[in-house]
């Protein structure tokens, strides 16, 4: 659990909320229906911290709902995206360092889905059902875990059209450009 006053729902953050162990996250989907809740794919997180074409749009979505739900491996995906850009454009080093710092500073305030086994099982089904890359399937799987079997209880934010289509087919309400 994060700092005092943290709004992080423990059932989303805790590893112990593994459905295979007979424990199901309770209450998150209900709370999601009571107020706007969005799950953020890494494709939408990068423009939050790094100036891109979609930056104004995604920052507007963040202003509407500052409660960000993310998959635990989003952290690695975003750090990887920033590092790749630093390798391909060394002149952007200062901007990328600032983006990395802003991202790492924001991370502790976000709700993190850490239930790896449940997400993995869902992702395995998703790659058989939809034309998805593994990382995209894991993101959708994490959103479904966060939604607690009520996918219409939260919005899925992505900039990836193929992922958006699959998420919609899974019942998630998709926010994308």
pLDDT digits (tens, 9 = 90+) for 78-91: 999 999 999 999 99
Instruction: Evaluate whether 33 touches 156 at the Cβ level (below 8 Å).
Output: no
All domains of the chain, ordered by start, with CATH?
26-175 (3.40.50.1010)
Instruction: Evaluate whether 71 touches 113 at the Cβ level (below 8 Å).
Output: yes
Instruction: For residue 176, give the 3-state DSSP assignment.
Output: coil
d(CA 166, CA 130): 6
pTM of the full structure: 0.81
Q: What does the pLDDT look like over 45-59, one tens digit per residue?
A: 999 999 999 999 999
């Amino acid at each position: 659990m994060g700092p005092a006053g943290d709004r992080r729902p423990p059932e989303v953050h805790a590893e112990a909320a593994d459905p295979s162990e007979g424990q199901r996250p309770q209450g998150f989907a209900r709370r999601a229906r009571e107020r706007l809740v969005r799950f953020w794919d890494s494709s939408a997180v990068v423009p939050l911290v790094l100036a891109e074409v979609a930056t104004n749009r995604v920052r507007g979505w963040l202003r509407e709902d500052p409660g960000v739900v993310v998959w635990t491996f989003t952290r690695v995906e975003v750090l990887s995206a920033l590092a790749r850009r630093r390798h391909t454009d060394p002149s952007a080093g200062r901007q990328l360092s600032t983006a990395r710092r802003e991202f790492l500073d924001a991370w502790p305030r976000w709700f993190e889905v850490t239930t790896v086994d449940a997400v993995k099982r869902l992702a395995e089904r998703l790659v058989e059902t939809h034309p998805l890359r593994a990382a995209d399937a894991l993101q959708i799987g994490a959103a479904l875990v966060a939604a607690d079997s009520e996918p219409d209880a939260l919005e899925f934010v992505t900039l990836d059209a193929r992922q958006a289509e699959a998420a919609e087919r899974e019942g998630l309400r998709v926010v994308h450009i």
